[in-house]
Amino acid sequence: MKICLFGGSFDPVHNGHLSIAAAAHTCADLDKVIFLPAACSPFKTDKQTLFNGEQRMEMLRLATLGISWAEVSDVDLTLPPPSWSWRLVEHYHRQFPHAQLYWLMGTDQWEQLHRWARYDYLVKQLTFIVYHRTSPPRPRTHVRSLFLSGNHPASSSAIREALLNNTPVPETWIPHSVEKQAQLYLQPY
C-alpha cells in the first residue's frame, strides 16, 4: 500500500491543494492521500490560523467529499504543539507497518527540509513528493523524491483576505461548499 501524508495549515483548503494531491495520487500511483491539518508549525509558532482546527477539518471533509483516495485526519490536532512531522510518520508507520509512506510538500518546505526535526529519520521512512511552480528544485543526495509541476493560482492568504473583506473569491480557487462554510464561520454571532 502507498500512503501519502499531506500536512499543512489548510487555512482554508483550496483547489490548489486538491489539484496537487490529485497529481501526486496519479504520479506515484498512491492508494491514499491523508490530509493532515497542522496544529501549529514549528516554523510558524507566532502565527495563528484564521479558522480553528475543527473548522479546518470540516472544510477539508467538504472539499474531499466523493474523492475515494482522499482521507482527512485530525491526528496532528490532537497532539501537543508544535506540529512535528516525525510524530505523524511514526503514527502512520505503526498504523500501516507494511505501507510505503510518502510526504507531499511544496518547494519552500523542500528547501527547509534539512531543518526539520529528526531529518535522518524522515529521510529513511519517506519518499518526498515535491510540488513546484517553476523549475524543479535540486534533488538531495540520499533522499527519495519525486517532483511535480503545476501552476494553480489559488492562495490561502488571498482567500482569507477576500473572505474577511467580503469580496469575491475567484470561482476556480475554492470549492463552493468550502467557501460557503468559511463564510458561515466568519459571520458575527
pLDDT at 41 over 70: no
Ordered domains of the chain (ranges, CATH) = 2-152 (3.40.50.620)
In this prediction the pTM is: 0.94
Q: Report pLDDT for 50.
A: 94
Q: Report pLDDT for 42.
A: 64
CA gap 92, 146 in Å, rounded: 20
Q: Of 30 and 81, which is predicted with more confidence?
A: 30
pLDDT at 114 over 70: yes
Q: Report pLDDT for 132.
A: 93
Contact 63, 33 (CB under 8 A): no
The torsion of the CA quartet 54, 60, 66, 71, rounded to 10 degrees, works out to: -80
CA gap 174, 170 in Å, rounded: 8
Q: How confident is the model at residue 44 (pLDDT cuts 50, 70, 90)?
A: low
pLDDT in tens, 62-105: 999 999 999 999 999 999 888 899 999 999 999 999 999 999 99
Share of the chain above pLDDT 70, in %: 96
Residue whose C-alpha is closest to residue 3's, from 25, 18, 22, 19: 25
Q: Report pLDDT for 65.
A: 97
pLDDT at 109 over 90: yes
Q: What is the mean pLDDT of the chain?
A: 94
pLDDT at 34 over 80: yes
All 3 cell numbers of residue 62?
Answer: 467538504
**What residue spans of the chain are helical by DSSP H?**
15-27, 53-64, 75-78, 85-95, 107-112, 119-125, 156-164, 176-186
Q: Report pLDDT for 45.
A: 53
Look at residue 131 and give its three-state secondary structure: strand
| Other CB atoms within 10 A of residue 178 CB | 24
Cα–Cα distances (Å) from 156 to 31, 72, 85, in that order, read: 27, 18, 21
CA gap 38, 125 in Å, rounded: 20
